[in-house]
A and B are shown apart, each in its own frame.
Chain A
Amino acid sequence: MRRTAGSVLLAITALLFLSDCVAPHPYSEQFRETPRAGICRRFPLGTDDLGRDRLSRLLYGGRISLECAPAAAFVSSLLALTLALAGGYGGHWAGRLVGVAADLCLSLPWLFALLAARAALPLDAPAGATVLVTFGLLSLLGWAGPCRMLMAAVKVRRQSEFALAAHAAGCSGLRIAVVQILPNLIPLLWTQFLVTMPAFLLAEANLGLLGLGVPEPLPSIGGMLRDLADLPNVARHPLALAPAALLFVMVSCCQLLVSADEYHV
């Protein structure tokens, strides 16, 4: 099971990174005579509303999204972990401080910070810069929810026998945190990563509604997912589901990779 998942994931990643050679057409080329085309030899996944080849867009968009979203999810998981360890091991007040910061982070309208950051960039800034700003801010803001759970887990592990034993043996707090507690948090971290990654892709799609996503004509998984909002259209052109399917396969493979036989002790 794990092997299959691993190879599928590897194959998809390779395909995405080789999109320059694999894609049948440039991602932005418009075949205006054939908008919304179905499957045919020329367009294996049909074309979108502007007649652009969907497969090529999916490959290029997949690459952009799957470079950025996992990176952002990784950063936010790392941030959550660091703060959770600091909060769990740094004493009562540190714990409270982290808790308060997480609460504030969860409840403030950060959308406006994103808007301000985008406005601070010049209008003819390269598309890459916009993408970086959006995913960068997402990664800086996505730590709050998981951090609270990680902190709770740290507190439990702190009271566990192995941590107490290490403490009795004279280990420093930092060493216990890194050597004893951290490995125990990995499953939770993976979950957090797997939940956050698609969430970030979708957040990019929703931010596209405010002009904060990946700008046209660059493709992105999120931008392509926005087409799903027109449900009757999706019923007639089910190929619009392709990006969602790709995302699903990738998330499931990641999931299988870590937890294929978790319960089988």
Chain B
Amino acid sequence: MQARRILGQAGSRFLVWMAVVAASGLLAAALVRMAPGFGMDERLLDVRLSAASRQAVAQQAAQQDNVLRYYFQYCRRLARGDLGRSTSLGRPVRELLAERLPVSLRSAAAGLALAWGLTLAAGAGLILGRSRRGFRAAHGAAMAGSGALLCIPAAVVALACAYADGRPALAITAILLPRLFRYTQSALAAAVSAPHVLAGEAVGLPGWRILWLYIAAPAWPELAALAGVSVSMAAGSTIPVEALCDSPGIGNLVWQAALSRDLPVLVNVTLLITALTTGANLAADAVRAARE
């Protein structure tokens, strides 16, 4: 009975997930279609082109004018594993994604892991050392450091990383770190001042035990939610970072596609990002539900 209920829940979640992903594709297509400059090819300014060639260029864009029809056809092709053809690069989107996805996933995953590792280490260090001398200075320094990182444009962080011959993952870390750090600090701060922590300290429990059982456990749901959201933050920061670091990943591709209103690429990437974001949040929810 229990198993059936869990299966039923999982099934309904999966259906919702599918619906959200499908809707995001349609909405993305509609947004791109609505944007000014849709279907405007740079070739239209090529003064060599004859009237016939210009017409051919214009016709190519006109095929995607009706978003609903385009999306319906896209879904039909998707069922066969065909992701369409990029209008700006003239290559199958499937090939483009296969070339670039691994690069981006690697940088985003490395950036996320590093940012989370540093955030948790700094958070734990600050909590464990909160009664020691020099805590104020350390806390102030951490806050000031994260504040400074927040005030510098992602573009500059990315360029600085590139100048230092760093990888995009480092730039992603530098962008995520202050945000994660500040949110975890505020989530943990509430837990730190709770009466049971004081009681635990009064009884003389070891610091790590208090940290794990008395502070981390109550803050857990917020941290899980932050983990889910951090995936979309990473996805969001990968785009400027890759575009600026000239890393041959999805971010770079998306930026170019956005500048040339490349509908097939944008719809596919939106589907991918939605699937990833909702997937991560679903996982965070599921973990939280399981713990509760």
Contact = CB atoms under 8 A, between A and B. Distances in A.
B37 interface: yes
Contacts of B50: none
B222 A104 contact: no
B2 interface: no
A113 interface: yes
Interface of A: 96, 99-100, 102-104, 106-113, 115-116, 118-119, 145, 148-149, 151-153, 155-156, 184, 187-188, 190-192, 194-195, 198-199, 202, 205-206, 225-226, 228-229, 231, 244, 247-248, 251-252, 255-256, 259, 262-263, 265
Chain B interface size range: 35 or more
Given A263-B130, A263-B135, A116 B148 contact: no
B179 A187 contact: no
Nearest to B156: A228
Given A107-B24, A109-B266, A115-B35, A148 B258 contact: no
A116 B36 contact: yes
A206 B156 contact: no
Nearest to A95: B285
Contacts of A265: 192-193, 198
A195 B281 contact: no
A121 to B, nearest CB: 11
Contacts of A255: 143, 147
A83 to B, nearest CB: 14
Given A187-B189, A251-B147, A148 B31 contact: no
Contacts of B100: none
Contacts of A118: 36
A202 B23 CA distance: 30
Contact of A188 (B163, B186, B229): B186
B183 A149 contact: yes
Contact of A206 (B150, B155, B193): B155
Contacts, number: 170
B185 interface: yes
Contact of A156 (B130, B163, B222): B222
Given A145-B232, A156-B222, A195 B150 contact: yes
A1 to B, nearest CB: 9
A116 B34 contact: yes
Contact of A251 (B130, B151, B233, B270): B151
Given A152-B224, A152-B288, A104 B144 contact: no
Contact of A198 (B23, B151, B187): B151
Given A115-B35, A206-B155, A100 B147 contact: no
Interface in B120-160: 126-127, 130, 135, 139, 143-144, 147-148, 150-156, 159-160
A23 B198 CA distance: 52
Contacts of B173: none
Nearest to A191: B186
Interface in B276-291: 277-278, 281, 285, 288
| In the A-B complex, the 3 residue pairs with the closest CB atoms | A152-B225, A112-B35, A119-B36
Contacts of B179: 195
A195 B32 contact: no
B197 to A, nearest CB: 8
Given A187-B186, A259-B143, 18 more contacts: A107-B24, A107-B278, A108-B27, A116-B31, A116-B34, A116-B36, A119-B35, A151-B225, A153-B187, A156-B221, A187-B189, A195-B182, A231-B159, A248-B151, A252-B144, A255-B143, A262-B193, A265-B192
A202 B35 contact: no
Most chain A C-beta atoms within 10 Å of own C-beta, residue among B23, B163, B183: B183
B111 interface: no
Contacts of B143: 252, 255-256, 259
A96 B153 contact: no
Nearest to A209: B155
Contacts of A149: 183, 187, 222, 225-226, 229
22 contacts: A103-B20, A107-B24, A108-B270, A119-B35, A149-B187, A153-B187, A155-B221, A156-B221, A188-B190, A194-B182, A198-B150, A202-B153, A225-B152, A229-B156, A244-B151, A251-B147, A256-B143, A259-B185, A262-B193, A263-B126, A263-B135, A265-B192
